[in-house]
């Protein structure tokens, strides 16, 4: 009952602001959806209807209220080869399978993997995306009438100054209306939405992909579906985390995975391409006051109204107004504080952030940048932890017993240093290895302990290992060979 109450709260606790912010987002979705359709090699209506379907479905089924999902560049780039080689019907089939894989990922709770993405990677992701958003506007800024720049400046002025008058109406929506009125009133001829491509005039029919249900079809679409599902979930979960931070509210990442899958399946059944969360439009939504599921649903529903009912009004909106909104998003998305933090933060954190940005900009692929950042974070973390251990040698002159006290973390990255910390040439008659201050994490650590014990035995010393904590003791009991029979110990000494 409490869950149903929370769900209802996510829909109706912020009605006015959610509706207005959703309208702003609907307008901002148009140039993006059309552009991404071109990247994928399909008609603009495929991207536009995908944006409608994915936004509406994820509003109902998703796990992150106020996040906007639609057709995106990161997924569109992967679709181009499939469309060129096999046709659009195979794209629809691949999108359905993409959705199924995402639902399975949600059921397996793979959203929990977000905990392994460091803050440096998140900052790099945000900064690179802000740059890509700005770069995507350059075609609308190059080779256009000079008056276009004036309209963009006016729109930006309204966006940043209107909140000082009132915050009741989202300033990006006011900017779009003002610039449209100026262009019409003064008869200014600039690019409008009508110049972006042919807009749809009717609802798409519900239909299954017209592909043969054979193993050959599955073989063709499966690699694309896996890539699309992985990239879509990665970008969606990162965007969800950013919206979590912006709104200071939690989200259900596993439910979001399933919501993304449901949205993509419905999109394909109505002639749309696959997509995922959009950080740019999500930031527009949040900064315009959107906080609930209603804002996401209104974005998709109002986009459909614009396409089918208000298309005459939509066609006259200057592209300059929409470009200004996206420039505002780019400026607002970029973490300017991260530039100052380059000197203040540890060098490894800065390297991770910069590597993430550089990889994204070089490949135009957000997922590759995140993978590079996560790998570097893991390497730097392992190196740091590997240095946080020590081995102290103490010899009792009366008894001749040599005691080695081990402290810290012993695992694959520190195993070699662990072995090198012992003096096998001066073993004495009895050696005690005290690991009460240490933790053995993996089989590499257990193997290193095997080598140390067997080397001391080979030097003629009687070896005793003591002080294991419970987890380390379990590892040693299961995998160590030095305390097993002589044949196993001899085998260990050879590896």
User: Does the pLDDT of residue 326 top 90, yes or no?
Assistant: no
pLDDT digits (tens, 9 = 90+) for 18-35: 999 999 899 888 877 776
- Give the C-alpha separation, 221 to 228, whole Å: 10
- Give the C-alpha separation, 320 to 334, whole Å: 21
- % residues pLDDT > 90 (the chain): 31
pLDDT digits (tens, 9 = 90+) for 100-141: 999 999 999 887 777 777 888 888 888 887 888 788 788 888
Determine phi and psi for 353, rounding to 5 degrees.
-65, -50
Looking at 318-442, list the stretches that DSSP marks H as alpha helix, in order from N- to C-terminal side: 319-333, 337-344, 347-363, 366-386, 415-420
Give residue 179's pLDDT: 92
- Among all chains, which residue has been given the structure tokens 């350059």? 138
User: Does the pLDDT of residue 241 top 70, yes or no?
Assistant: yes
In order of 82, 85, 120, 300, the CA distances from 394 in angstroms are 67, 71, 42, 71
Mean per-residue pLDDT over the chain, rounded: 86
- Bridge partners (DSSP) of residue 466 are 434
- Give the C-alpha separation, 367 to 352, whole Å: 14
- % residues pLDDT > 70 (the chain): 95
- H or E element: which one contains 466? strand 462-466
Strand pairing of 275-277 and 462-466? unpaired
Give residue 314's pLDDT: 75
Q: What is the mean pLDDT of residues 216-223?
A: 93
On whether the CB atoms of residues 317 and 193 are closer than 8 A, the answer is: yes
| Residue 322 Cα to chain centre, angstroms | 25
Give residue 485's pLDDT: 55
pLDDT digits (tens, 9 = 90+) for 405-425: 999 888 888 888 888 888 887
């Amino acid at each position: 009952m409490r869950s149903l109450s929370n769900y209802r709260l996510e829909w109706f606790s912020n009605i006015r602001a959610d509706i207005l912010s959703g309208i702003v987002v609907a307008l901002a979705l148009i140039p993006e959806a059309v552009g991404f359709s071109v990247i994928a090699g399909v008609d603009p209506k495929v991207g536009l209807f995908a944006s409608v379907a994915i936004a509406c479905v994820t509003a109902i089924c998703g796990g992150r209220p106020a996040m906007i999902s639609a057709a995106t560049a990161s997924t569109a780039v992967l679709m181009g080869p499939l469309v060129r080689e096999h046709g659009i019907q195979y794209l629809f089939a691949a999108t359905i399978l993409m959705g199924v894989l995402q639902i399975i990922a949600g059921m397996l709770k793979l959203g929990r993997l977000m905990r392994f993405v460091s803050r440096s990677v998140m900052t790099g992701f945000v900064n690179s995306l802000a740059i890509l958003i700005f770069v995507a506007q350059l075609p609308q800024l190059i080779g256009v009438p000079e008056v276009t720049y004036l309209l963009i400046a006016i729109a930006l002025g309204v966006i940043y100054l209107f909140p000082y008058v009132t915050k009741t109406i989202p300033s990006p929506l006011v900017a779009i209306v003002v610039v449209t009125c100026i262009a019409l009133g003064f008869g200014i001829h600039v690019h409008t939405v009508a110049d972006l491509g042919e807009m749809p005039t009717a609802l798409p029919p519900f239909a299954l992909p017209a592909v043969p249900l054979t193993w050959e079809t599955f073989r063709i679409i499966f690699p694309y579906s896996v890539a699309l599902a992985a990239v879509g979930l990665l970008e969606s979960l990162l965007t969800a985390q950013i919206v979590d931070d912006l709104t200071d509210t939690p989200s259900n990442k596993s439910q979001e995975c399933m919501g993304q899958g449901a949205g993509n399946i419905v999109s394909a059944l109505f002639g749309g391409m696959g997509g995922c969360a959009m950080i740019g439009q999500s930031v527009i939504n949040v900064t315009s006051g959107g906080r609930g599921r209603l804002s996401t649903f209104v974005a998709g529903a109002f986009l459909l109204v614009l396409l089918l009912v208000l298309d005459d009004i939509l066609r006259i909106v200057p592209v300059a107004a929409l470009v200004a909104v996206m420039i505002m998003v780019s400026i607002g998305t970029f973490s300017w504080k991260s530039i100052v933090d380059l000197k203040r933060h540890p060098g490894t954190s800065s390297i991770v952030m910069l590597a993430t940005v550089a990889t994204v900009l070089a490949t135009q692929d957000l997922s590759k940048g995140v993978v590079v950042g996560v790998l570097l974070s893991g390497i730097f973390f392992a190196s740091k932890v590997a240095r946080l251990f020590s081995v102290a040698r103490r010899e009792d002159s009366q008894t001749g017993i040599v005691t080695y006290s081990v402290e810290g973390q012993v695992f694959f990255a520190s195993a070699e240093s662990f072995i090198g910390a012992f003096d096998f040439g001066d073993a004495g008659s009895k050696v005690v290895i005290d690991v009460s201050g240490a933790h053995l994490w993996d089989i590499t650590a257990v193997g290193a302990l095997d080598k140390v014990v067997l080397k001391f035995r080979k030097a003629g010393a009687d070896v005793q290992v003591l002080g294991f904590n419970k987890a380390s003791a379990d590892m040693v009991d299961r995998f160590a060979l030095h305390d097993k029979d002589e044949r196993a110990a001899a085998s260990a000494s050879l590896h």
